[in-house]
């Protein structure tokens, strides 16, 4: 899953080499996906009205239906 999120994020931003994705287990059925990007790419990653980050959330919600695990996304600047 982190590979997909990283690949998708790298297609959006201007500095794909700065993208890193990690997943932290917060609870048995709850994970936090942390996307770290270059400071200048945060706006592109989130998108106008949050459209880009919402697209990533939609994909993760599809995974939730499959494996019954909830996901939270956090975007951090380097």
Q: Mean of the pLDDT values across residues 19-38?
A: 94
Average pLDDT over residues 53-69: 88
Whether residue 26 contacts residue 2, with contact meaning beta carbons closer than 8 Å, is answered with no
The mean pLDDT value for 27-56 works out to 93
**Containing structural domain, residue 69:** 2-77
Query: Number of folded domains in the chain?
Result: 1
Residue 41 buriedness (CB in 10 A; 0-12 / 13-18 / 19+): buried
Quote the pLDDT of residue 66.
82
- Output the domain CATH number for residue 51: 3.30.300.20
On whether the pTM is more than 0.85, the answer is yes
Q: Where are the alpha helices (DSSP H) in the chain?
A: 2-12, 42-46, 51-67
């Amino acid at each position: 899953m982190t590979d997909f999120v990283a690949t998708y994020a790298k297609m959006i931003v201007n500095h794909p080499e700065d993208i890193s994705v990690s997943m932290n287990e917060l609870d048995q059925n709850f994970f936090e996906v942390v996307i770290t990007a270059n400071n200048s790419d945060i706006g592109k990653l989130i998108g106008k009205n949050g459209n880009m980050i919402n697209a990533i959330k939609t994909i993760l919600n599809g995974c939730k239906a499959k494996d019954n695990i909830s996901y939270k996304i956090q975007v951090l600047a380097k």
